[in-house]
Each structure stands twice: as C-alpha cells, then as structure tokens.
Amino acid sequence: MAQAEVGDDVFGEDPTVRRLEELAAQRVGMEGALFVASGTMGNLAAVLTHCQRGDEIILGDRSHTYLHEAGGVSALGGIHPHTVPNQPDGTLDLQTITGAIRAVDDHFPVSRLIILENTHNMSGGIPLSVDYLQQVGRLARQQGLRLHIDGARIFNAAIALGRPAAELTAPADSITFCLSKGLCAPVGSLLCGSSEFIRLARRTRKQLGGGMRQAGILAAAGIVALEDMVDRLAEDHQRARRLAAGLRAISGVQVEQDPPPTNMVYFRLDPRAGKTTQDLIQALVKQKVKLTARNPYRMRMVAHYWIDDAAVDRAVEGIATAMAGG
C-alpha cells in the first residue's frame, strides 16, 4: 500500500485502481468493475443505476440490502422495495418472485430488478447454487427485469461450491463483492457489470460522494485480496466447522447450520439454560475474546484470516465456561 502508484481516480488516472478494477472484472467474468467504498455503496450504486424513482426491486425479507443498508434505496433513490420471504437456504422461491412482478398498470410501481445475496448471510452463509442462479437469471430475462447479486462473499460461495466465481455471476447483470470481510483488505468493494453499466455507475458513485482521489493506496490492498486471499478461504470454512463442532458439544448451545457451509456459524442459546448472548459477551471480554450480538439468544461468529485454530479453541472454551456458569 505504501508503494502503490497513484493518480486521481475521479479522472480515471489511478493506475492501481485501474489494475484492481481490471482484475476484479476478470475474476467475476464481467466487462467492467468500479471500486467503491463499501458493499453498501456498491449495492446502492447498482440499484440507483438500474432503476428510476418509483421503480420496484424484488428482494429477500432477510437480505442485507433490505435489513442493514439504512434504507438507502428508498431514502436516496425513491425506489420501492418489494420483499419476498427468504427460504431457509437463502433462496427466493421462483413462483413467489414471479408473483411479485407487477402487471403493467398505472396503479403499480414498475418492477425493474431482482436482488439475490450469495452467500446468504442471515441464513448462515449458505451459497446459492449455479443451477438456482441460472433459473433466476432466466426468469429475469423472460420478464424483462434485471438481476443484481449482492455477492459480498461471492468467493466464499465459489470455494464452497468448487466452481469459478464467474459461473456464479454469469446469470446476473451486476454484482457487488467485498474486498474486506474474508478477503482481508481493510477497505473496499467492487461493483461489476457490462462496460455500459459501469460507465453509468461511475456517475452514480460520484453522486453518492464516492469518487475518491488517490485511492490506489486502498486498491493495492484489494489486489492482494484478490490474488492471495481467495484460495485460502477454504481454511476459514474448515475453521468454521471446527468452531461448530466445539459449540455443538456445549449444553444449551444449538448450532443452526451444522456443519456450517462456509465461514460463518450462527448459534442459539436455549433460554432454559439461563444465559443470554449479553452474558457471553461480558464473560468472554475477560479472556480477550470479543463478540457481538443483536439478539439475546442468537449469535454469529465468522472465521477469517486473523482467526487461527487456537483462537477458535479459546472462544469455544470461553463459551463453555460461561454457559456452565463460570
């Protein structure tokens, strides 16, 4: 990062950003890519580029874009979210999607875009299969809609399924993926799509205040993320399984997706055990294990580059002690 060659990326003159964008586009099999500050900005720029005010997007009721992106699509784009239930495996039922598509009628918003999330975070990091993605891609094309994939963790999906990422993105018009999270870069995501889509998205990014200047210092870490951090994701998946095996053995703890399909482990505490996630958080701070939770009985832990086997074992031990009342 310190040695990155930089230029003004608002003018498209930062060679390191350009190299990252070319590499990203190539890895996901798209014509172009755009470096953005975050996954949230990538998804928002995608929706604002695909849609006009009053258009409707069809997305899962447990999708990150619907739940955890501060309602940006409505607040900034005047775009109407039409949620359909995420099934337990993170997919959206094809018939339900079809039923959500509006007839052409002045009473209705205009259905414009379907969004899928791969891997699906809230369902436990489940990868969506190539076959399913192709089916949704076909449905979108037949109905004249576009398909965006929130692929924050698309490389986790690719590694878990043993398929190239480009196969998972082929049915989509656009995809966002994150360089942070499992790929370990400090900052940044890529929005990818056709050359024309990326040309338009560049303008959207500028409107969002996301045109960065000498961003090559950040893009340099992104290049390391794509070149060196993808294949090792298999280790994180293995560590998530180690974590699940440890948690499974603790009385009062129930692992949701067991074994975990990728890098994350969601687990629940049996209320009869008399402990909440807050109790665990407080108990483990003393052992320098830092946890977060949004729910008193459900918690997520994610394996990544900085978590080794010993760290997994320390977390399991701490939770076992806390659940036993220590």
Ligand X SMILES: Cc1ncc(COP(=O)(O)O)c(C=O)c1O
In degrees rounded to 5, what are phi and psi of residue 31? -70, -35
- If one asks whether residue 173 binds ligand X (CB under 6 A), the answer comes out as no
Q: How far is the CB of 279 from ligand X (least distance, A)?
A: 25
* Rounded Cα distance, 152 and 177, in Å: 4
Written as six digits, the tokens of 260 are 């975990």
By CB under 6 A, the count of residues binding ligand X is: 11
Out of 4, 24, 38, 318, the only residue in the binding site for ligand X (CB under 6 A) is 38
For residues 9-22, one letter each, b for 16 or more C-beta atoms within 10 angstroms of the residue's C-beta and e for the rest, the string is beeeebebbbbbbe
Interface map 55-94 toward ligand X (x if CB under 6 A): ---------x------------------------------
Residues 6+ apart with CB under 8 A from 272: 252
Looking at the DSSP bridge assignments, the partners of residue 269 are 253
Q: Which residues within the stretch 99-118 sit at the binding site for ligand X (CB under 6 A)?
A: 117
* Rounded Cα distance, 84 and 65, in Å: 13
Q: How far is the CB of 60 from ligand X (least distance, A)?
A: 10
Out of 86, 189, 214, 257, the only residue in the binding site for ligand X (CB under 6 A) is 189
Q: How far is the CB of 166 from ligand X (least distance, A)?
A: 19
- Nearer CB in complex with ligand X: 92/250: 92
Q: Where are the beta strands (DSSP E) in 129-263?
A: 146-150, 174-178, 189-193, 253-255
- Nearer CB in complex with ligand X: 152/243: 152
Q: Distance of CA 288 to CAs 284, 285, 307, Å?
A: 6, 5, 13
In degrees rounded to 5, what are phi and psi of residue 190? -125, 135
- If one asks whether residue 178 binds ligand X (CB under 6 A), the answer comes out as yes
- If one asks whether residue 40 binds ligand X (CB under 6 A), the answer comes out as yes
- Span of 10-18, 33-41, 45-53, 74-82 interacting with ligand X by CB under 6 A: 33-41
- Nearer CB in complex with ligand X: 14/117: 117
Q: Which residues within the stretch 196-235 sit at the binding site for ligand X (CB under 6 A)?
A: none
- Span of 13-21, 37-45, 70-78, 128-136 interacting with ligand X by CB under 6 A: 37-45
- If one asks whether residue 39 binds ligand X (CB under 6 A), the answer comes out as yes
- If one asks whether residue 174 binds ligand X (CB under 6 A), the answer comes out as no
CB 204 within 8 A of CB 276: no
CB 275 within 8 A of CB 300: no
Residues of this chain that interact with ligand X (CB under 6 A) are 38-40, 64, 117, 121, 150, 152, 178, 180, 189
